[in-house]
């Protein structure tokens, strides 16, 4: 099964759910499903800023597996980080996300 | 140095960041169009925009626009709308997409093509203003519309 994650809430999502659950499992290739994309809203976008240690690991997994990483464009502009993300990580809105996923559609989209 | 710093450190408003241009542009794009309406232009990814102008004594008095809901495109259009009032039509025509990209920092390279679309639509409105003012477009206007500078 293929899934895409949308990180929409901000409580413990990046430091805990992503960094201590999903990401280690992806690195160890035992997450159980293929993650074809991740989309980030609001402060969650800071993980995509070039140099972020969690983002470094995530970016490596994305490059190795072809997983899409995308930041919300308005969220990134508001935080003035849109041009500071890891190389090749785009920003966009829903049309960009759907277009980017269209070649590798997930079976489930999971909002965290 | 007399120019006003518009960075966050100086707390000067309005700031010319993409986020704040988008906020103001989103409101402006929902206002009624001005008296002279340019033809809409469509770019990559089906983004569309059009400008409208009020012109008095050969100068731009006010600017309106409509744009697809793309934050980058709206920010670029709003920048045009904020800087060109009081410009003569000929001077306004000199504004290029490169000027726009340089003036609105923080846009990733993949999104900067929206500047070309914004300028093409703005020049279409200038052409419409030419037609209204003179009764026919100038050759220079036609040239710019067909070959918007990068």
What domain count does chain A have? 1
> What is the pLDDT at residue A110?
95
Per-residue pLDDT, averaged over B9-30, amounts to: 85
In a domain, B38, yes or no: yes
pLDDT tens digits along A24-81? 999 999 999 999 999 999 999 999 999 999 999 999 999 999 999 999 999 999 999 9
Domain harbouring A35, CATH code: 3.40.1260.10
Report cis status (omega within 30 of 0) of the bond before B14. yes
CA distance A97 to A105: 11
pLDDT tens digits along B70-91? 999 999 999 999 999 999 999 9
Residue B45 touches partner A, C-beta closer than 8 Å: yes
> What is the pLDDT at residue B135?
72
In a domain, B4, yes or no: no
- Most A CBs within 10 A among B75, B102, B106, B109, hence the mutation to make, goes to B106
Taking contacts as CB-CB distances below 8 angstroms, the residues of chain B near A70 are none
**Minimum Cα–Cα distance from B69: chain A residue:** A93
Interface of A with B in 57-86 (CB under 8 A): 73-74, 77-78, 80, 82-83, 85
- Most A CBs within 10 A among B23, B72, B105, B112, hence the mutation to make, goes to B72
Number of Cβ atoms within 10 Å of the Cβ of B38? 24
**Whether the predicted interface score ipTM is above 0.90:** no
Domain harbouring B40, CATH code: 3.90.1010.10
pTM of the model: 0.83
> What is the pLDDT at residue B5?
59
Percent of chain B with pLDDT over 70: 81
Residue B39 touches partner A, C-beta closer than 8 Å: no
In a domain, B121, yes or no: yes
In terms of C-beta density within 10 A (0-12 exposed, 13-18 middle, 19 or more buried), how is residue B39 classed?
middle
The kind and range of the H/E element at B37 are: strand B36-37
Using CB atoms, pick whichever of A74, A83, A93 lies closest to residue B107: A83
Residue span of the structural domain in which B112 resides: 16-146
């Amino acid at each position: 099964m293929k899934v895409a994650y949308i990180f929409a809430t901000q409580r413990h999502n990046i430091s805990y759910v992503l960094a201590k659950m999903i990401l280690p499992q992806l690195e160890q290739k035992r997450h159980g499903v293929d993650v074809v994309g991740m989309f980030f809203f609001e402060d969650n976008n800071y993980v995509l800023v070039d140099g972020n240690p969690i983002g470094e690991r995530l970016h490596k997994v994305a490059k190795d597996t072809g997983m899409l990483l995308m930041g919300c464009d308005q969220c990134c502009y508001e935080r003035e980080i849109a041009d500071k993300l890891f190389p090749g990580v785009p920003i966009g809105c829903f049309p960009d996300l759907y277009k980017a996923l269209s070649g590798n559609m997930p079976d489930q989209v999971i909002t965290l | 140095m007399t120019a006003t710093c518009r960075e966050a450190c100086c707390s000067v408003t309005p700031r010319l960041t993409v986020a704040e241009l988008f906020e103001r542009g989103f409101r402006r794009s929902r206002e009624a169009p001005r008296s002279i309406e340019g033809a809409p232009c469509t770019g990559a990814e089906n983004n569309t925009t059009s400008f409208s102008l009020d012109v008095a004594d050969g100068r731009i008095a006010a600017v309106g626009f409509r744009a697809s809901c793309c934050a980058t495109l709206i920010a670029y259009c709003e920048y045009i709308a904020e800087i060109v009032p009081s410009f003569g039509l000929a001077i306004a025509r000199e504004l290029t997409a490169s000027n726009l990209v340089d003036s609105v920092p923080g846009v990733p390279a993949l999104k900067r093509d929206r500047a070309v679309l914004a300028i093409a639509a703005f020049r279409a409105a200038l052409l419409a203003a030419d037609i209204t003012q003179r009764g026919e477009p100038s050759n220079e206007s036609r040239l710019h519309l067909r070959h918007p500078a990068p």
